[in-house]
Amino acid sequence: MTDNAFERFLLTGEDLARNRLTTTHGGNMSLRHRGRMAITTHFSMPGRLLPGNVVEIPLREEPDRFASDASWDAPLHQLIYKFTPAMAIIHAHSAYVVAISLRSDIITPIDTEGSVLLREVAVVAPEDASSRLPQVLQTTVVAIVRGHGSYAVGRTLNEALAFTAAMEFSCKVLMLTAPEAKIYQRQAGS
């Protein structure tokens, strides 16, 4: 991994932390490059990344969870890269996103930026994340795992960061305007 690539991880992680888009040790980021993937390590701090907190692994070969330092989300990132044209992924544990995901199957932003950038955002069950996220992210830039957080894809980490921030802002607006926003609609049987 080049110094330039690490710098992109470092700046993005600092922005995630500064803007409270994830917890101190939560979430992860990755970049696709030449058949490989650079990804943050398990339990690294996005706001205080060190060079050893980003590792390169093969894009198609699932890492050994016990031998690799890669985030435990690495296999999910690999699947997203396999089925989408994404070049970067950010997974964040944003408070408003997580809160609304506990009550909704689809989140429809009502703010202008969110409605333009994100449109409708699917919320998937944690047990369905591996099968549903790669599918959902083929047609949208953000998907949410219920109770866990958002996964944003982009051409760059900066673009994925923009979608992550827009999702959190949209969820905050929905929470601040509830109950008028009608965000608490779960499908029958959920």
Instruction: Examine residue 150 and state whether it is found in any structural domain, yes or no.
Output: yes
Residue 184 lies in a domain: no
The pLDDT profile of the chain, 190 residues, written as one tens digit per residue, is 667 889 999 999 999 999 999 999 999 999 998 889 999 999 899 999 999 999 999 888 776 565 578 898 999 999 999 999 999 999 999 999 999 999 999 999 999 999 999 999 999 999 999 999 999 999 999 999 999 999 999 999 999 999 999 999 999 999 999 765 555 555 544 4
Please state, in angstroms and rounded to a whole number, the distance separating the CA atoms of residues 87 and 160.
Answer: 9
**CATH number of the domain within which 90 lies:** 3.40.225.10
Q: At what angle do helices 74-83 and 129-136 cross, to 10 degrees?
A: 40
Contact 128, 180 (CB under 8 A): no
Helix (H, G, I), strand (E, B) or coil at 15: helix
Up-side HSE of residue 127: CA atoms within 13 Å toward CB? 0
Domain that holds residue 134: 3-177
Amino acid 21: pLDDT: 96
Residue 188 lies in a domain: no
Question: What pLDDT, on a 0 to 100 scale, did the predictor assign at position 190?
Answer: 47
Could you tell me if 92 and 12 are in contact, meaning their C-beta atoms sit under 8 angstroms apart? no
**Three-class SS state of 93:** coil
Structure tokens that stand for 177 in this block: 């305007």
Q: Please count the other Cβ atoms lying within 10 Å of the Cβ belonging to residue 105.
A: 15
Domain count, the chain: 1
Distance CA 188, CA 13 (A): 38
Are the C-beta atoms of residues 68 and 43 closer than 8 Å to each other?
Answer: no
Dist CA 123 CA 10 (whole Å): 28
